[in-house]
Structures are given as structure tokens and as C-alpha cells.
Amino acid sequence: MFVDHAKIKIKAGDGGDGAVSFHREKYVAAGGPDGGDGGRGGDIIFQVDDNFSTLIDFRYKRKYAAERGENGSGRNCTGKSAPPLIIKVPRGTVIKDAETGRIMADMSTDEPKVLARGGNGGKGNVNFATSTRQIPRFAKPGFPGEEFEVTLELKLLADVGLVGFPNVGKSTLISVVSAAKPKIANYHFTTLTPVLGAVKTGEEKSFVMADIPGLIEGAGDGVGLGHEFLRHVERCRLIVHVVDVSGVEGRDPKDDFRIINEELAKFNSELAERPQIVAANKTDMATDEQIADFRKFIEEKGIPFYCISAATTKGTHELVMKISEMLDTLPPIREFEAEPIPQAQLDEMAGAGKSFEITVEDGVYFVNAPWIQPIMRTINPDDYSSLQYFQRVLINSGIIAKLEEMGINEGDTVNLEGFEFDFVY
């Protein structure tokens, strides 16, 4: 079964808890605190595996959780960090946040992508010993790992996409120019899944062609199978529009051309601008007048036009060479850029009313606000606009106002969940 869409939940591991422990050894008096930190929770990592061609495995398993970090222990021993959970997906899978639709990663390369980060381990009591607090009887719990519900969409990596109405000869064409062996029969919707074929044009030169099934009028709105498979056209560098020029099924080839292009544009406006070649198929069954009329219609639009007969292979070599020539001038297969977290979502994460606690030890203001941990991961200390956002978070949450109320002075040190900085008005 070809499955190209799935929704799953991913949960990175929580950090281990810090330990409360005191050094005890014979003949050693007042050994002091020695509770170690908790280990880090496991990350969720996505990795491309070319042995997979569909997302069918995600139909049967929908929840993926990494392991929790180990708790800290005495003798200042840090708990063991949990290993990452690696999820393997087919090449070309686009991962989106199910709630917002934000693109989180495009799995088109071999580079693994961390989608959910494990929580940091909690600090052991050895970290809280000061000259005035020599017996800290508390430690910090581990931080929770990130958790998301994500959608997986497989968008095939193909240089060329064959589009057109059912039964116009797309499957026959891909079968004669490549080693692909799709099902071929004289009825509609013979092809029920996209078919990929490698087309060789020279000793060390080839391109990948995809037969996109199910396009009819209304495909962009989900009619037929089109809505299921239009996503696979999005990456194609070039569209080859196969049209039955003979009109043996009672359709006008001009209407076919117009309708399919309207459906492509309706699904994604960028597809309307994608370079095209029109392959007028079944010319062995068409009259010269039909071919000439359709040729004039297409060439007036400035689109390359080729007469072919996929069944007899007439004109297919010339078409393939033209495709190869055009691909040499086109940019590489599209990759989708990961999108940043929307500002509105960041503001919500940093909204007022979040609880925090501030204590002062030896002139250092310790701010305990676990909710700010995921926000701090997005802060770049070397970027001015990022620091401005960080300052806005501190103001909106009331942390700055509380620090001023407690009498903080410019230049005093603030420790915010382990991140230290000098306070500046």
C-alpha cells in the first residue's frame, strides 16, 4: 500500500532529577554536599532511509517517546544521558507541526534532523552550596523534553512530473523511456500510486521522471485521486503535460490542457509558473488537422510542443532529449526550508502570568523559571534582535519588575536557569 501522509506524536525524554546527597567517609568530618546532576533526556532524531518508499509504518505506530535521563547520585556523579530515538523516514518526507502547519524539517538529504530536544538534567545539591548555605537539602528536578504532534508528508523527489487526464498515455510513456513497469490498461485510473522511473540520456547522465496519477477536473479540491497526489508535483523542476490529441474519448485537448493547469494552480500557485513541455500523445490516432490546430494553440503560449506516440515510441527520444536539455538550465529539485516558530506562538510561550521564583545568594539573583527553558534555546546572544526579544520576554513575564522590586542594581549578576548575565537598565 502506498501511504504518503501520516500524523504521529513525538516526545523527547525528560531530564533526570538532581540528587540530594552528602559526602560521608570515615575520618572525614563535614564532607559537604555531593549530589550530582541528572542526565539529559534523549532527543528525537529523524533520519532518511532509502530502503523506505512509503509512510505505511506510521499507520500502525503513532507515538514515539525517547528515554528519560538517569537521576544524579552521590559522590558528585552525573546521571547517564539517554540515547536519542532515531525515526527513519523515506527520502522526500516533509515534517510539519500539526497544530500550526509550520515546516519543521525537509528530509531530502542524508543529514539527520533533531525535531524534539530532550530535557536538561536537574542540578544536584552540590550546585547550591554557598558560604552562607553550606547544607543545601534540595536539588532541581529534570526539565521536560519537547513534545509535538507532527504530520509527515512524502513529496517525491523527481526532476520531471508527468501530468494529464487519466488514460492519456502517461504510464505508457514512462514505461518506454525508463525501466519503470506501471500497470497499463485501457481504462481510467489504471495507475493508483505515483510511479518513479530513471531516464538515461547519456553515459553518466540521467533524470528521474514521476507519473502523477488521478488528475481530473476538481482535483485541486479533492475530486478523484488528485488531492492525494498533487503534492508530488511540488518538487518537480519541469512538468511534462501529456495530452490525448486524438480526442478519442470525446474530450477537446485544448480543454484538457486548460483544466489540468487550472487544477495545478489551484493546488499551488507556484505550479502555474513551473516550466512545461506539452507532449501531444496518440498522434497515430489523430488527423493532421487535429495535430496542427493543437500545435498552434500551444505554441502561441510559448510552450515547447512535441508530437509523440508512446505506444509506438515515435517522438519519445526527441522528447526525452528536450527534457534533458531544459533540466540543464533549471535550478535543482526544490527543498522546503524549515520555518521559525511564529512570533505569536513565542509571545504566547513568554506571556505574562508564568510563575517564577527569585532568590539572592552572595549577591547573585537566581531566577527559577522552568517554562523559559525552550525559549532560551531560541536565543542567539550574538544577535541584537534576538537579545531584544529576550528582554521583552523578561519584561512581559514580570521578571524584570520583580528584580527591580528586590533592589537589583546595574551590573549585578542574574542567573536565569543556569544562564548568567549582568543586569542592565
pLDDT in tens, 86-110: 999 999 999 999 988 899 999 999 9
Residue 115 to residue 302: CA distance in whole angstroms: 44
The answer to whether residues 332 and 237 touch, using CB atoms and an 8 Å cutoff, is yes
Q: In the structure, what pLDDT confidence band is assigned to residue 344 with cuts at 50, 70 and 90?
A: low
Interhelix angle for 253-267 vs 288-299, to 10°? 30
Residues in the chain: 425
Residue 361 lies inside a defined structural domain of this protein: yes
Indicate the pLDDT class of residue 187, thresholds 50, 70 and 90.
very low
Q: Mean pLDDT throughout 395-420?
A: 86
pLDDT at 424: 82
Together in a domain, 79 and 23: yes
Residue 188, pLDDT score: 45
As a whole number, mean pLDDT of residues 333-354 equals: 69
In a domain, 148, yes or no: yes
Cell output for 67: 528515554
Whether residue 264 sits in one domain with residue 283: yes
Q: What is the pLDDT of residues 22-64, one digit of tens each?
A: 888 777 666 788 899 999 999 999 999 988 888 888 988 999 9
Comparing 425 with 168, which gets the higher pLDDT? 168
Q: How far apart are CA 323 and CA 265, in angstroms?
A: 22
What's the gap between Cα 390 and its chain centre? 26
User: Is 331 buried (19+), middle (13-18) or exposed (0-12) by CB count in 10 A?
Assistant: exposed
Q: What is the biggest distance separating any 2 CA atoms in the chain, rounded to whole angstroms?
A: 108
Residues 112-127, mean pLDDT to the nearest whole number: 90
Poorest-confidence range of 52-61, 74-83, 218-227, 385-394?
218-227
Same-domain check for residues 307 and 357? no
User: Do 321 and 344 share a domain, yes or no?
Assistant: no
| Alpha-carbon gap, residue 38 to 80, rounded angstroms | 7
CATH number, residue 392: 3.30.300.350
- Averaged pLDDT, 359-365: 85
Lookup: cell for 155: 513529496
pLDDT given for residue 385 in this prediction: 65
**Which amino acid belongs to residue 129?**
A
Using an 8 Å Cβ cutoff, are 178 and 184 in contact? no
> pLDDT band for position 419 (50/70/90)?
confident
Distance CA 249, CA 307 (A): 18
Per-residue confidence (pLDDT) for residue 86, from 0 to 100: 97
Final residue belonging to a domain, choices 302, 327, 352: 327
Q: Which of 162, 337, 331 is nearest to 232 (CA)?
A: 162
Same domain? For 170 and 137 the reply is no
Please indicate, yes or no, whether residues 309 and 365 belong to a single structural domain of this protein.
Answer: no
Q: Give the CATH number, domain containing residue 170.
A: 3.40.50.300
Domain endpoint, select from 133, 154, 175? 154
Mean pLDDT for 107-135 is 86
Same domain, 222 and 86: no
- Does 179 lie in the same domain as 131? no
pLDDT tens digits, residue range 372-381? 776 776 566 7
Alpha carbon 123 to its chain centroid, in Å, reads 33
Q: Identify whether residues 64 and 141 lie together within a single domain.
A: yes
Query: Is 92 contained in some domain?
Result: yes
Comparing CA positions, the residue from 42, 41, 118, 38 lying closest to residue 76 is: 38
pLDDT at 78: 93
CA distance 291 to 168: 15
Say how far apart CA 421 and CA 425 lie, in whole Å.
13
List, for residues 259-275, the tens digit of each pLDDT value.
889 888 888 888 888 99
Look at residue 227 in the predicted model and tell me its pLDDT: 54
Residues 175 and 315 in one domain: yes
> Is residue 62 domain-shared with residue 104, that is, in the same domain?
yes
Residue 218 confidence (pLDDT) above 60: no
Amino acid at 350: A
pLDDT tens digits, one per residue of 268-303: 888 888 999 999 999 989 999 999 999 999 999 999
pLDDT at position 226 over 90: no
Rounded average pLDDT over 141-164: 89
The range of the structural domain enclosing residue 413 comes to 340-425
What local confidence, expressed as pLDDT, does residue 352 receive? 44
Whether 172 maps to a domain, the answer reads yes
Report yes or no on 99 lying in a domain: yes
Q: Is residue 333 part of a domain?
A: no
Residue identified by cell 508528508 is 153
Rounded average pLDDT over 189-208:
77
Last residue of a domain, which of 270, 297, 327? Answer: 327
Instruction: Give how many domains the chain has, as a whole number.
Output: 3
> Cα angle at 16 between 14 and 22, to 5 degrees?
165
Is residue 130 within 8 Å of residue 362, measured between CB atoms? yes
In a domain, 332, yes or no: no
Other Cβ atoms within 10 Å of 157 Cβ, number: 18
Q: What is the pLDDT of residue 387?
A: 77
Residue 383 has pLDDT above 90, yes or no: no
Average pLDDT, the chain: 84
Q: What gap in Å lies between CA 122 and CA 19, rounded to an integer? A: 8
At residue 60's C-alpha, the angle toward residues 55 and 66, to 5°, is 85
- In 3D, which of 74, 71, 73 has the Cα closest to residue 25? 74
CATH number at residue 122: 2.70.210.12
Going by C-alpha positions, the residue among 110, 67, 103 that lies closest to residue 88 is 110
At residue 215, the pLDDT reads: 65
Residues 256, 175 share a domain? yes
Q: What is the DSSP-derived secondary structure letter of residue 156?
A: -
Mean local confidence (pLDDT), 210-214: 78
Domain-located, residue 358 = yes
